[in-house]
Structure 1
């Protein structure tokens, strides 16, 4: 069995060349024999007319000597002369052989008609050596029939075939050498791809392949380089994810462990004991939220996460979320400005409810006391805009493009105090994209933040793609 692509390509191309060469000779003979026969016929007709014209001008007394002389001057043809008695005279033929012709053919030429032995037909394989032309000849008042045929011997035909075969053999040899070179050129980038694939399989994502070709192999190489780059990013994301999860889990666990040890002291004041218990409870809730958000993201990343769109009032859903957070915004004396005209939407009610809870929850957390939060609903022809704006601390420009990344915190120290884990906005963006919508943010530090969610009126689940 052939195991290397190089050998397979060489053998395949060589087989094609050999078959082509073997078929070329008979096909060429088949296609061009008629043309050659026609050309021979025209040459013989011209020679015959010249002989007849010369005989009229010279009026030779010895016709046999005259015809013998013409064949000696030009050895490419042979003559056979028939007199009125149909007696043959051969000129320019070995052993004085003459053409075997039917009596009616001889009579036809003696009567002044021209004869062509082969009536050439399209696609009919004919031997040019058998072309035969008959012309009427009149000398000294006597009528003759002059037949002309090419003098091509079997040896000459064999030499022609040998020459053609030799040329085809040279073509075969040169073609095979060129195939060896071309095959190496074709297989070389594939070998490089194989080496790069093995390195990639061992975890080395630093693939450096030069792409000089624009053909299918060049496109394959570019796709491989792109794949390696994506895998490298994916591996980096995985490592960052593990590192972030470990950090987020380690911090509350450290607090819980430390305060649990402190609670063992028998002389611990009751006020400190209660404070430690509150911290343990708060850190436990933080772990619970982290676990819940991780499970939520993992579920959203799969194709099997439930997606049940239904028609409902979006404005009513937003009002319920605002009422849900009333204790929080009332405690901070925040002003809520609602502009919610009646709008119906077809979407997954539970998932979008999670979006509004996260956005409004963030607005309340990052808005100082006596601040203002506005929630507006803007229906358009084929989509809906939901705007959640606050007068909070704002987000720096360099952080705005990254706040939707998992575990990213624009201000890690302040979010740690507030209790965030950097997953809420990632969940928001994932849900919005699943509804074939998108979310954007506009913010200035110290002036507040505006989140704009744009959703189609009738949402359909967006097919999941992996980074």
Structure 2
């Protein structure tokens, strides 16, 4: 049967009190008995001395011709009655042979067997024995250094025994009352402690079942309060550790997914590189073979040199952009952001691209406002160089390229728009993927590699910006690049 801790503590406390009361009772009762015995002995010793002195004086006042034995036979009864009256105790006088010579006892009370005790007294020793509520005290009698017999006092122990019994009764009642009070007080006193222990037990079961504590089970400045705080700290630490483990697991799973995706992208990237490199190399090899076969054909020589130059330039551009994409994946420390006037950078790029636009009979219009951004200058050059270059490549003769800006309190954006054929809807999701081109034939003619927009996206994200296709139809195609705005010194 399961017992609660409150009951156990109460029972233990009651047992301790009972043992304490019992031990105290034994010691007190023993002390009372010793005290009573010593007091009775002293009292009887005094009475015996007084009786001896009375007998001695009585003998000395008699005629010296009377022997001690005769004196005792003649005077014992009178002396016993006198001593009994004087001491208040029943008195019996014995001769040296143990025969009763005088007694103050009634005739019916004289048959008391104390032979052993009397024999000690006749040998010169004080002796006594207890029978029931009576104590028989026997002391030797002597006159002129000659023992003549013994004197006995009958002492009633009824009062002492009654007093001792009353003390025992009080201790018994007190012990029972103390035990009962201890159980009740202990139960009430330890109720709060036991409840706290039960609360701690329930909290430990809660932790065991995987439910964490939102707060300490209770507050306290004692050991139980410290244990409560310790359980809460332990619960919090376990919960934090499990959360960290789950987070690490999630990161590992995400890393595995990313690695798998990266592996797939790498395979696709390598396949695209191989395919894209193979096309211009095949064209170069074909013209080399033709030139080797027809060395004297001037027209073939002119066409071959021109096409080899174009394919070589395309290869050079492709290698340059692939290397730049690879560097962006590995070396973040090459970025050196600073406060730049974005309008000046864009204007510089447009000025450099003006010649190429004119070559293809295109109009390049620029309308931008002052704005400050925090970015890498070289990256900004590559971003707008590629966007304007694409606007030139995928335009129509006589078309336009328009570069404009817009800004608010937090962002500044540059729009690069061009006329020409739009981008189909099904191609827009892959527009920023490496080696993706909308029109393969158009890319070969214009020298496109499918890496420009991928490079633009990577560089823009490195500057905490964003690039997106905002419009593409039969009239215009518009790309917008947005950067976080920084206030310049004049606007502060």
TM-score, normalized by length of structure 2?
0.52
| 8 Å Cα contact 1:385-1:454 kept in structure 2 | yes
The residue that corresponds to 1:145 in the other structure is 168
Residue by residue over 1:425-451, the C-alpha shift from the partner in whole angstroms, topping out at 9 and shown as x without a partner, is 111111111111111112334232111
Pairwise CA RMSD of aligned residues?
A: 3.8
Q: Does 2:12 match 1:37? A: yes
The 3-state SS of whatever aligns with 1:145 is helix
For 1:346, what is the secondary structure of its paired residue? strand
The residue aligned with 2:293 is: 265
Distance in 2 (alpha carbons) for counterparts of 1:289 and 1:340:
29
Distance in 2 of aligned mates of 1:405 and 1:384: 25
> C-alpha offsets along residues 74-99 of structure 1, whole Å, 9 cap, x if unaligned?
xxx9x98xxxxxxxxxxxxxxxx997
Structure 1 pair 305–425 and aligned structure 2 pair: CA distance change class (3 A): farther
Alignment-derived partner of residue 27 in structure 2: 101
After superposition, residues 387-402 of structure 1 pair within 5 angstroms as 387-402=415-430
Shift of 1:239: 0.3
Residues 396, 443 of structure 1: 8 Å contact kept: no
**1:414 maps onto 2:442 in alignment:** yes
Q: Which runs of 5+ in 1 are unaligned?
A: 1-27, 45-76, 81-96, 111-137, 151-181, 183-213, 460-467
Check conservation: 1:347, 1:458, Cα contact below 8 A: no
Out of 291, 306, 313, the position equivalent to 2:319 is 291
Aligned length in residues: 292
The answer (yes or no) to whether the contact 2:393–2:448 under 8 Å persists in 1 is no
Tell me how far apart the structure 1 counterparts of residues 374 and 244 of structure 2 sit (CA, whole Å): 45
**C-alpha spacing 1:267/1:348, structure 2 compared with 1 (3 Å):** closer
- Partner deviation per Cα, 1:133-170 (whole Å, 9 max, x = no partner): xxxxx9899733234479xxxxxxxxxxxxxxxxxxxx
> Does the aligned pair in 2 maintain the 1:313–1:342 contact within 8 Å?
yes
Work out the CA distance in 1 between the residues paired with 2:369 and 2:243.
Answer: 57
- Cα pair 2:472 2:478 within 8 Å, conserved: no
Q: Does 1:378 align with 2:401?
A: no
CA distances 1:10-47 after superposition (whole Å, capped 9, x unpaired): xxxxxxxxxxxxxxxxxx99x986522334579x7xxx
Q: 1:387 to 1:145 in 2, by over 3 A?
A: same
Q: Does 1:338 align with 2:366?
A: yes
Q: Identify unmatched segments of 5+ residues in structure 2.
A: 37-160, 177-207, 209-241, 488-492
Conserved 8 A contact 2:318-2:449: yes
Larger radius of gyration: 2
Contact 1:311-1:346 within 8 A present in 2 as well: yes
Partner SS, residue 481 of structure 2: strand
Structure 1 segment 143-292 matched on structure 2, within 5 A: 143-146=166-169, 147-148=171-172, 223-266=251-294, 268-292=296-320
Q: Quick check: which one's helix share is greater? A: 2
